Structure 1
């Protein structure tokens, strides 16, 4: 009996990943984003549902998931052009308005529905963000390009950075309030963010000399950057820093140091495709239906209020920033995904000994809903904007 259980645990992850990949490919034929299928399989195989993939993954599973997320965040960061914000400051203003409205709306909702002040602050800081992993993956799968695509990517960069800073600050305040330890509070907030940024910048600045040394500065550097991201994520885990912030900073600096990446860099090839399946199965497996059900009223309301705040923010400065009201609203719809960012942000705090899962239980329902609906919303928004390319060269899907 024990041997059978051991075998079942050993096969849980391979079976879940294989099934997720199969359903992802089949679902794509019916315009269901692959990552939605991956997350659904992960949810079904979670310990509180049908299987035990999260339990059998252990700490190594979290490291692999963060590595996969790091690869996506590097690629995401590399696509962000900071000069765009300088040339069109209304885009930056739109991003900041999105953060402010989302934060205030979710905080007010949480307080009205009886949540404590700290819980409301944490929920509000999390809800300001869009998942860069989900957005980037859908964009890459659809080969999407255009005004809505670029605005969604750049505005996501703004709200993710603001969300991380706000969340870390609130966690630091919570640490000081509960433990009375100012040093620990500071180390859980500002120090983590600053050192994470510094580490990412150091990797970004150090890559050009390494690529010149090995003769790959102007050629395909997929393997070199993949290894660098893996090393960076491992270091952030060892030093209890934020892999999210470090890998995003790495990608931003790599772009602005003018390191040329070839087309093979997209998705990091087969390695990236495989890790993406694992990442979204892992994220889906983190959902507990009991916690999600308990927080469903607030979680569902949070999704609606967050969506309304984003639509209002994107519409307010749409014309001033050089786009139409319709494209502003489509940009808001494209920015619905949330789940991957939330799960791995909470994972970051767990590594420093702070478990906030129960404190922000209502977010479980929101992440579960947006694991499935968020990528679909992004896909439909990009299709409605006419920015999705047909797999056949020279064709476009409307």
Structure 2
């Protein structure tokens, strides 16, 4: 009789995917809450540190597939960013910069007050600047929402991603220089790697639309071509220690401005994109450890509250200057709550790159778990209160 353990081990991820998908479908039907909240709960419950159905996270094929899934989402986010709108209304960008810097300062001071080392406090502050594009794009697509709040949340999420990745890598570069006196590696982590990621993403954004025009059928083939190009881009960045997230965002942003249509019917990249989204949230939550969550729970609650207040205040301060009411400014700030997947994958990348100090950042585990579950609910409620979701009356005047 064959040994059942290897067979069950090989089936762990397919079974977990099926369970997570079912939990999302039934959970959404019974509660009306976003499906991804249930994907995260299943991933956490089945993780190696909890029930133990899923293996411990490593840099294997599942991690690469999670990166591909995140890359597809970041491409779509970049594709929906309208730089012309930001040039016409620069106060939106100013509001994003203000809320990010205010968040950094607030979380840094809170972490120091709880006795965190200065370097760890800086890393926590940098990570807290970000907003999870995976959650934002998924919930917006699921709600089929459009309007001023929706567009501002998308644009500020993209800006937050760039700022958070840059700040986090700069702090890691400083740590490498201070610990190993390795100036070259420190510069690579802080500047060269990010610049290279932006460049390679922009090159893909120029080449792929040109290729689609060459085959004379861009509307039919665009979705497959963009998906294949994103997979290749993520693999190249993974092999070359570049940032696949910045590269995918740059790819989408450049491709949008090359005027190649990306059909609305193919948002989420169709059924394959939906499947990879389930895997992404399942994998991200499975990396969390309940013991670290319990240890950091007090700090996590304060960080979540302070971060949300800072983001909401930063956006509200420039609401009128950017052309919306304070109410819509507050709802936009509220919509920036999701954080989990973005932080988890950044920490995992740093750990796989050999930056061992990130182990101390597991204090962020409780923050990410809280926002893994509640982040999607918060953005969903913000869109409903703004009357921009498909279940509410559509917004009459929305950003171009």
Q: TM (normalized to structure 1)?
A: 0.96
Identify the residue that residue 137 of structure 2 maps to in structure 1: 136
After TM superposition, the structure 1 stretch with the greater mean CA deviation from structure 2, 11-20 or 117-126, is 11-20
Shift of 1:12: 1.2
CA distance in 2, matches of 1:226, 1:317: 37
Shift of 1:314: 1.4
Alignment length (residue pairs): 394
After TM superposition, the structure 1 stretch with the greater mean CA deviation from structure 2, 312-321 or 68-77, is 312-321
Identify the residue that residue 299 of structure 1 maps to in structure 2: 300
Q: How does 1:104-119 map to 2 (within 5 A)?
A: 104-119=105-120
Identify the residue that residue 170 of structure 1 maps to in structure 2: 171
Q: Cα–Cα, structure 1 residues 254 and 57, in superposed 2: closer, same or farther, change >3 Å?
A: same
Q: Please tell me whether residue 21 in structure 1 is matched to residue 21 in structure 2.
A: yes
Q: Cα–Cα, structure 1 residues 176 and 57, in superposed 2: closer, same or farther, change >3 Å?
A: closer
Identify the residue that residue 255 of structure 2 maps to in structure 1: 254
Identify the residue that residue 328 of structure 2 maps to in structure 1: 327
Partner of 1:323, secondary structure, is coil
CA distance in 2, matches of 1:287, 1:53: 12
After TM superposition, the structure 1 stretch with the greater mean CA deviation from structure 2, 15-24 or 350-359, is 350-359
Identify the residue that residue 76 of structure 1 maps to in structure 2: 77
Q: Deviations over 1:252-283 (max 9, x none)?
A: 00011111111233110011011000000001
After TM superposition, the structure 1 stretch with the greater mean CA deviation from structure 2, 44-53 or 113-122, is 44-53
CA distance in 2, matches of 1:57, 1:7: 20
Q: Cα–Cα, structure 1 residues 56 and 110, in superposed 2: closer, same or farther, change >3 Å?
A: closer
After TM superposition, the structure 1 stretch with the greater mean CA deviation from structure 2, 346-355 or 228-237, is 346-355
Q: TM (normalized to structure 2)?
A: 0.95
Is the Cα–Cα contact under 8 Å of residues 127 and 164 in structure 2 kept in the other structure?
Answer: yes
Q: Deviations over 1:60-94 (max 9, x none)?
A: 11100000000000001000011111111111110
CA distance in 2, matches of 1:216, 1:292: 50
Shift of 1:42: 0.3
Q: Deviations over 1:115-167 (max 9, x none)?
A: 11100000000000100110000000000100100011111111111111111
After TM superposition, the structure 1 stretch with the greater mean CA deviation from structure 2, 262-271 or 132-141, is 262-271
Partner of 1:259, secondary structure, is coil
Shift of 1:32: 1.3
CA distance in 1, matches of 2:292, 2:17: 24
Q: Let me know the Cα RMSD of the aligned residues.
A: 1.7
Q: How does 1:1-398 map to 2 (within 5 A)?
A: 3-29=3-29, 30-55=31-56, 59-390=60-391
Shift of 1:373: 0.4
Is the Cα–Cα contact under 8 Å of residues 212 and 221 in structure 2 kept in the other structure?
Answer: no
Partner of 2:140, secondary structure, is helix
Shift of 1:28: 1.3
Is the Cα–Cα contact under 8 Å of residues 219 and 261 in structure 1 kept in the other structure?
Answer: no
CA distance in 1, matches of 2:265, 2:331: 29
Shift of 1:350: 2.7
Is the Cα–Cα contact under 8 Å of residues 136 and 376 in structure 2 kept in the other structure?
Answer: yes
Is the Cα–Cα contact under 8 Å of residues 135 and 153 in structure 1 kept in the other structure?
Answer: yes
Identify the residue that residue 398 of structure 2 maps to in structure 1: none
Shift of 1:355: 3.4
Is the Cα–Cα contact under 8 Å of residues 24 and 35 in structure 1 kept in the other structure?
Answer: yes
After TM superposition, the structure 1 stretch with the greater mean CA deviation from structure 2, 205-214 or 34-43, is 205-214
Is the Cα–Cα contact under 8 Å of residues 80 and 153 in structure 1 kept in the other structure?
Answer: yes
CA distance in 2, matches of 1:132, 1:89: 21
CA distance in 2, matches of 1:298, 1:341: 19
Shift of 1:396: 5.8
> Structure 2 regions of 5+ residues with no counterpart?
396-400
Shift of 1:2: 8.7
Q: Cα–Cα, structure 1 residues 161 and 309, in superposed 2: closer, same or farther, change >3 Å?
A: same
